């Protein structure tokens, strides 16, 4: 019987890195300098250089990265931030945590990224920033978004939590935005073995304030110039991320090759494969297809030992936590249709070509059984949000 194909297989990634990671962790534990030490400081320089930005600041997690940036920009009650609902709840959570209001635009039906045609219509005198989400590993058109923001005097805060190494016209996050937030959650292209996050920016004042806020509003121990928070990155996680950073480019290139193979193998199937936008370098944190009979396909793949995910089944504007915004089904029709059809296939650098072929064959076998005539038009989408 064939072995299972995991959605993400961190054990395969860990094996060749084990000795270097354990040696680094051991060194940290021997010294017992556990926060904001040599590894955090080195990672801040190394990942900032990788991103091509002036400043890098390690923080405790991706949600805190967004929260701290908003605090550093003095965004708060009464302010509005334009973003999207097709993302993990942390994007809007961070906005709500500072007392601001998330204002949602719909998404592009091909890339699932922020629909830039809708942004300017949502700008009001209360709008202070735009928060694009570089979803699944692909960046929003930052050149066009920068032009919109500049016309209206707005900041851009990039949610790059799924976009480590992604580019738009050769530039990574924070090179056209004012600051970018990354997550080092364990399953990311660049992940820790716990929680971790990062903020990148070219703005000296934003960087200064971010460093203070993440450490209780302090630049000098026991001297607190503002009300901050505890959002420090710890040394153990910094060790792990530093080791992995050396492999990130190679891993991303492998993911891109995997995506090309998936696209080739699924070209004659009823599913819609991801689109790489013009000018974008997609790093495929997630490989998200659009599939008729999505729920049935997912169950079939599980029966075949192939594990998948749905990112994200309920958009933020329809979540109970954000009911206070007063949204209803139908407010974001493209988002709501997409979340009933999207399915994330296994995607990690250690995935083999043979496993990709097996996944693609299983998908085509499912549709050969359920759609023998290939007639997608009459299919009822069972995962549709109501």
Q: What per-residue confidence (pLDDT) applies to 231?
A: 97
Give dist(CA 242, CA 226) in Å, integer: 31
C-beta neighbour count of 271 within 10 angstroms = 22
DSSP 85-153: SSS-THHHHHHHHTT-EEEEE-B-TTT-SB-GGGTGGG--TTEEEE--B-GGG----HHHHHHHHHHHT
Q: Are domains 10-244 and 248-370 of this chain identical in fold? A: no
Give dist(CA 202, CA 52) in Å, integer: 9
Give dist(CA 48, CA 182) in Å, integer: 11
- CB contact set of 45 (below 8 Å; sequence gap of 6+): 56
Q: By C-alpha distance, which of 157, 180, 146 is closest to 84?
A: 157
Task: Map out the domains of the chain as residue ranges.
Answer: 10-244, 248-370
Give dist(CA 340, CA 133) in Å, integer: 20
Task: Write the pLDDT tens digit of every residue in 225-274.
Answer: 999 999 999 999 999 999 999 999 999 999 999 999 999 999 999 999 99
Q: For 341-363, give one letter per residue: b (16+ CB within 10 A) or e.
A: bbbbbbbbbbbeeebbebbbebb
Report the SS3 class of residue 216.
Answer: coil
Contact 118, 82 (CB under 8 A): no
Q: What per-residue confidence (pLDDT) applies to 351?
A: 98
Give dist(CA 144, CA 146) in Å, integer: 5
Give dist(CA 294, CA 308) in Å, integer: 11
Per CATH, the number for 248-370 is 3.90.1150.10
Structure tokens belonging to residue 312:
């994200």
Task: Write the pLDDT tens digit of every residue in 120-179.
Answer: 999 999 999 999 999 999 999 999 999 999 999 999 999 999 999 999 999 999 999 999
| Domain 10-244 sits in CATH 3.40.640.10 | yes
**Exposed / middle / buried, residue 183 (Cβ in 10 Å: 0-12, 13-18, 19+):** buried
pLDDT under 70: residue ranges of the chain: 1, 374-386
User: What is the helix, strand, coil percentage profile of the chain, to 5?
Assistant: 40, 15, 40
């Amino acid at each position: 019987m064939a072995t299972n194909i995991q959605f993400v297989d961190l054990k395969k990634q860990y094996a060749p890195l084990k000795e270097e990671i354990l040696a680094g962790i051991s060194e940290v534990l021997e010294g017992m300098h556990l926060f904001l030490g040599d590894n955090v400081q080195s990672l801040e320089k190394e990942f900032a250089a990788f991103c091509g930005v002036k400043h890098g600041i390690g923080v405790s997690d991706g949600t805190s990265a967004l929260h701290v940036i908003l605090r550093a920009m003095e965004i708060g009650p009464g302010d509005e931030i334009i973003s999207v609902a097709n993302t993990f709840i942390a994007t809007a959570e961070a906005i709500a945590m500072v007392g601001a209001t998330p204002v949602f635009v719909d998404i592009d039906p091909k890339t699932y990224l922020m629909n830039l045609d809708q942004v300017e219509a949502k700008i009001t005198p209360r709008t202070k920033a735009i928060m694009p989400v570089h979803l699944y590993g692909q960046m929003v058109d930052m050149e066009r978004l920068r032009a919109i923001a500049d016309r209206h005097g707005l900041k851009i805060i990039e949610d790059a939590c799924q976009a480590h190494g992604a580019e738009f016209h050769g530039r990574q996050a924070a090179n056209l935005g004012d600051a970018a937030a990354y997550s080092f959650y364990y399953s990311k292209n660049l992940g820790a073995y716990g929680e971790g996050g990062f903020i990148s920016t070219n703005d000296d004042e934003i960087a200064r304030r971010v460093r203070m806020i993440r450490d209780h509003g302090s630049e000098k121990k026991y001297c607190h110039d503002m009300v901050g928070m505890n959002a420090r990155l710890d040394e153990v996680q910094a060790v792990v991320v530093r080791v992995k950073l050396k492999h990130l480019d190679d891993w991303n290139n492998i993911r891109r090759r995997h995506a090309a193979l998936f696209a080739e193998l699924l070209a004659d199937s009823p599913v819609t494969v991801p689109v790489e936008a013009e000018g974008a370098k997609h790093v495929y944190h997630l490989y998200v297809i659009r599939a008729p009979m999505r729920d049935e396909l997912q169950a079939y793949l599980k029966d075949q030992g192939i594990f998948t995910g749905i990112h994200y089944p309920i958009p933020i504007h329809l979540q109970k936590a954000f009911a206070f915004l007063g949204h209803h089904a139908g407010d974001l029709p493209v988002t709501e249709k997409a979340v009933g059809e999207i399915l994330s296939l296994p995607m990690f650098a250690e995935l083999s070509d043979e496993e990709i072929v097996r996944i693609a064959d299983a998908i085509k076998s499912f549709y050969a059984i359920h759609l023998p005539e290939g007639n997608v038009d009459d299919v009822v989408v069972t995962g549709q949000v109501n």
